[in-house]
Each structure stands twice: as structure tokens, then as C-alpha cells.
Chain A
Amino acid sequence: MVNRRTVLSAAGLLLALLLPPLATALGKPDLVTLGTQIAIYAIAAASLDLLIGYTGLSSFGHAAFFGLGGYTVGILAFHAAGEPIFGLLPGATEAWIVWPLAILTAATAALAIGALSLRTEGVSFIMITLAFAEMFFFLFVSLKTYGGDDGLGFRRRSGLPGIAPRDDVAFYYICLAALAAVLFLFSRLVRSRFGQVLQGIRQNPRRMAAIGLSTYRYKLAAFTIAGAGAGLSGALHANLLRFVSPDMLHWTMSGDFMIMVVLGGAGSLVGPVIGAAAMVLLQSWLAQWTEHWMIVMGPILVLVVLFARRGILGWLR
């Protein structure tokens, strides 16, 4: 059965690599944007899987880090075009400055939120992560300088040397490469000692504590890394749309990321990628069909939870 999975992965990778020429051949250039969207969401979903699937932490606030990454890009671009921040720091549009800063911002917020929320567990943890994400949502709604409710648009994507900022195909490959890098990093991470401890925490936190490990620190480290991943995803998403808005931090966004993880199959890293693809494709397909697509999406979700707990990946196996 390993073979079948390898074949499917190879086919998926080939499809991802050949998507732009295929889209041109089919006369549907929109597919490239759809593919970019999938790659970006997959990064956020894979980082959430680190928490849900590996560490057993049901975080319901992942959109906060996604949004913070996005707003870092948006706000720096805003200041690059206008006045410096607080009249001191200039804005920036170069990817090599902006993207690491977005990751750092999201990771710092995750460290702070995680430090507080990890004092509890189970249902309280779900509610608290949701509540803190909502707090950041309100923060950006109230920041009128950066557009408040309406969001903040900016003119061009983060600059990378040698790549035209308006080139959608190049941007697709950048996002794909980012996804590949994240997946590679995470797959190394979960096989390392650190990753083994995380999985031990999921299976039996008391035993991990009994053998002398501070589970709190490991969980906090995982939470911060996952936040960093969502920050990168948010930065890329802001670049895709050249627009950021509080919607990025809306609580339904956190719910969507959770769905991607569980729909694809938690605890596998590949699962969330499949989940992200399924979610984006299903949404765009249902939305073509009826404006009330959520009335179909909701029951699908209930059915998946009731009857297909291991997600699409479990069903492929």
C-alpha cells in the first residue's frame, strides 16, 4: 500500500509542477490562481497539523497568525509608499526583508498567546485560542490608519530579484517552493527527537511528564513554530491579493484551516495539503453552482466528522 501512496504523491507533485502550462493549454489561466491559493492555504494547514495531528492541541485561533503575517506585509508596503512608521522606521517592499519579518511577527504573537493558553487544556484551550484570535481581529478592525473594516490594499507584490512582480506564474512557483520547503522542514521536524516528544505528548502527556520532560515548553515551541508557518502563509496570501483585511483573522478562517487538516487527514502533513486542495476546489465548484454553497458545505462537514474520521488520506490508503 506504500506504493500506491508514493504513486499518488508523485502524480500530485507532477500535476502541481505542470499546472501553469496545463492551464494555458486548457485555456483556463484562472487555474494558476486557484493553485496558488491551494499552496498558500496548504502551508497554514500543514503548520496547524503540527498542533492538531502531532501534538494533540486543538488550536482554534490559527487565523490570527495568518492575519498577522499578512498585515506585516500590508503595513510595511503602506509605509514604504507613504510616511515612515512613527516617523522613524521606513516601510519595506523587498521580500527578503518583509517575509522574514512577517514570520517573526506571527511567531512572537504565537509565543505570547501560547504562553497563556497552554496553561489550560482541552475545551478551554479551544475557547481561549479562539478568543485571542478574535482580539486581534478587533485590533485590526479598529486600526483606521490601516483601513479598519475595509482592509488595506497595496500596489505591488513584495520584490524578489529577477522576478517581475506581476508575473502570476512565477508567483505560483514561489508559493509552491515555499510549500515544499515548509513540508520538508516539518517532515524532518516530526522525525526528530523534538517531534517524537510532541507525538508522545499527544498520546500520553502524563507519561511524558513522568519521564522528566517539561511538556509545557515543548507544546509552546510547537505552537510558536506553527504560528510562524501561518505567518508565512499569510504573507504570501497578502501578496497574492495585494490586499489585507480583518477577514483574514475572522474566526471562520480558523475554522476553515481546521477543516482542511481534518478533511485531508490529520497527523500526516500531506493530508492538510490534500485537504486545502479539496476545500478550495469544492468551494469554487459549489460557488459556481449556487450562491448558497454553504448550505451544502455544512452538512458535508458534519458527515465527514461522523463517518470519515481519517479524512481523504485515510480513504485513499
Chain B
Amino acid sequence: MTLLLEQMLNGVQFGVMLFLLAAGLTLVFGVMGLINLAHSSLYMIGAFAAAWAGAHGWSFPLALLAGAGAAALTGIAIEVAVLKRLYQRDHMDQVLATFGMILFFNEAMAMLFGRQPLMATVPGFLSGSVEIIPGVPYPLYRLAIIAVGIAVAALLYVLISHTRAGMLVRAGATHRDMVRALGVDIGLLTTGVFALGAALAGLAGAMTGPLLSVQVGMGDRILITTFVVIVVGGIGSVRGALAGSMLVGMVDTLARAYLPGMLKTVMVATEADAIGAGLSSMAIFILMAAVLLIRPRGLFPAHG
């Protein structure tokens, strides 16, 4: 029972990471109609920048800021230089151009930092664990990630639903030309939205650093999981991204924790381990297939 609680917290923590990525990706798609594979590069850049800053003696909050900032600056650069020209294009063109960017950024990071994974450390004041419920010690750092995730979700909600900038973002998603006709600088709006999404991806990368190793290509796999989140949640909707993230994070974590054990009750242990590992990494895709069968447009479609 205590183990289940712990695993569920892990699921929420993974879900929070996915949400930070999915929110930016889905906002950019909602407002600009752009599918951006290079989102994974922004995540990687955030992780590398934070790890570098940490290794050079920056304090942890500053390192996080460095990660988010580096990703946001890179995001602004690629948006202004390339992506702006792609908003009106085919999704196919967008996929190819941003795929080219991934090749570039992966190789650039390999040249700058080498192919050996970097290790980022959990900061002193967040190491150790707390007993949230008596008898269930849980790492403080993971709790901190969950807290940051909740804070970001709340901030995004306030920003999008209760500010003037958020109103423009919502209006831009549905009536882009009308917003332009009313005299709003659409270019500034799109760059702003893109920078926000990039900063969130960078923040996710920076916070992941101490949990996993920081290495070239680290964003590619989680990008595909983020796509699953977006398809499950409904494309273009931040609410859908939140629901999808939690669902996918939970299903993935619980499947990995319990599926091999459950299979052991019905088959030989070695086979159960092998098949269980395979099945549990396929679990989220099976979830996606099920959602597609029932609600092809996702659980919370953006419009209508």
C-alpha cells in the first residue's frame, strides 16, 4: 500500500514533467498552428545549461533560471530566424524543418559537451526525504518538482484566462486575422508565446537533470511521450495537456512498477521480466489507441 502511494507520487512527478513540455507544445500549436519537433532540443538545451551552471558553482535556483533562459533565448532565435516563415506552411514542411533543427542541435551539443552524459546533482537543501504520511519517506526533490509543476499550471491558468495577454493568445488561436486587423502586433504575440513554451521546456529539462543523466538526444524520447499526452488530452488545449500528462505519467509509472510483478504470477519469472518490460513501455501507446477508439479528438478537444 505504501509502495503504491510512492509510485503514484512518482506518476504525478513524471506527469508534471510531461505537462511542462506539453503545455508549451500545445500552446504553440493552438496559436500558431505549428508542430515543433525541436521542442525536444529546447528541453535538452535547458538541461545542459542548468548542468553547466550548476557545475560552475551557480546556486540551484539560478541554474534553473539559466536553463529556462537559455531555452527561451534559443527559442526566440529559431522562431524569428526560421519558424515564423513556416506558420502558414504544410505540417509536413514544419516537421521536416524542425527535424533538421534537432539534427543540428544534437550535434552541436555533442561538439560542445561531448557524448558522455553529464551528471547534475540534487541541491543540498532539497536532498533527503520527508515522511508525508508516517512510514512513507519520499524524496524532497521530487516533491519540489511536483510543487513547481502545480505553480506553473496555476500561473498558466491565471495568465491565459485572466490577463490581457492571455486574452490575445486565446483570441489569436481562434481568430488570428481578426486579432491582426484590430491592430495587435501578431509577430510579437507569436514570439512571446513561443518564448514562454520554450522557457517551460527548458525548465523541465533543468529540473530533470538531477534525476536522469543529461545527454545528447535526451529530449527525443520524451518528445514522443509528449505527443502521446497531446493526442490523449486533445490537441491545442492546455486543460487537455494537464489531464493527458497526469494520465500518461500515472499509467506509464504504474505499468513499469507493477506489470512485471503481475505477470510473474502467471508465468516463469525470466519470461515475465522480459515481456513485462516490453508491455509496460507499450502501455501508454495502448492507452492512446484506446482513447482514439472512443474519442478520436482527445479527451478535451480545444474547440467544440
Contacts and interface: CB of A to CB of B under 8 A. Distances in A.
A301 B278 contact: no
B293 interface: yes
Interface string B248-280: 000000000000000000000000001101110
A126 B101 contact: no
B87 interface: no
A122 B108 contact: no
Contacts of B90: 58
Contacts, number: 131
Given A142-B277, A143-B274, A295-B111, A116 B93 contact: no
A127 B296 CA distance: 13
A119 interface: yes
A17 interface: no
A64 B278 CA distance: 16
B96 interface: yes
Given A58-B92, A298-B107, A139 B224 contact: no
Interface in A124-152: 124, 126-128, 130-132, 134-135, 138-139, 141-145
Contacts of B228: 127, 131
A259 B96 CA distance: 7
Nearest to A112: B289
Contacts of B5: none
A302 B227 contact: no
Interface string A243-278: 000000001100100110010000000000000000
Given A262-B92, A299-B104, A306 B82 contact: yes
Contacts of A23: none
B92 A52 contact: yes
- Interface footprint category on A: 35 or more
Given A58-B92, A126-B95, A306-B82, A131 B231 contact: yes
Nearest to A135: B285
Interface in A83-136: 116-117, 119-120, 122-124, 126-128, 130-132, 134-135
A135 B292 CA distance: 15
Which of B92, B285, B286 counts the most chain A CB atoms within 10 A? B92
Contacts of A299: 100, 104
A305 interface: yes
A124 B231 contact: yes
A8 interface: no
Nearest to B293: A116
A60 interface: yes
Contacts of A120: 231, 292, 296-297
B274 A142 contact: yes
B91 A126 contact: yes
A130 B227 contact: yes
Contacts of A52: 92
Given A123-B35, A132-B285, A143-B274, A294 B103 contact: yes
A300 interface: yes
Contacts of B289: 116, 132
B224 A301 contact: no
A219 B102 CA distance: 30
B292 A116 contact: yes
Contacts of A124: 231, 235, 297-298
Given A123-B91, A298-B104, A299-B104, A128 B99 contact: no
Interface string A302-313: 101110010000
B91 A122 contact: yes
A131 B104 CA distance: 23
B92 A297 contact: no
A309 B90 CA distance: 11
Given A120-B297, A297-B100, A298-B102, A128 B277 contact: no
B96 A305 contact: yes
23 contacts: A116-B289, A119-B296, A120-B292, A120-B296, A124-B231, A127-B230, A128-B288, A128-B292, A130-B227, A131-B224, A134-B285, A135-B285, A138-B282, A142-B274, A255-B96, A258-B96, A259-B99, A297-B103, A299-B104, A301-B100, A302-B100, A302-B104, A305-B97
5 tightest A-B contacts by CB?
A142-B278, A301-B100, A298-B104, A298-B103, A135-B285
Interface of A: 52, 58, 60, 116-117, 119-120, 122-124, 126-128, 130-132, 134-135, 138-139, 141-145, 251-252, 255, 258-259, 262, 292, 294-295, 297-302, 304-306, 309
Given A255-B99, A298-B107, 17 more contacts: A58-B95, A116-B293, A117-B292, A119-B292, A122-B91, A127-B227, A127-B230, A131-B285, A131-B288, A251-B220, A258-B99, A262-B92, A295-B107, A295-B111, A297-B103, A301-B100, A306-B97
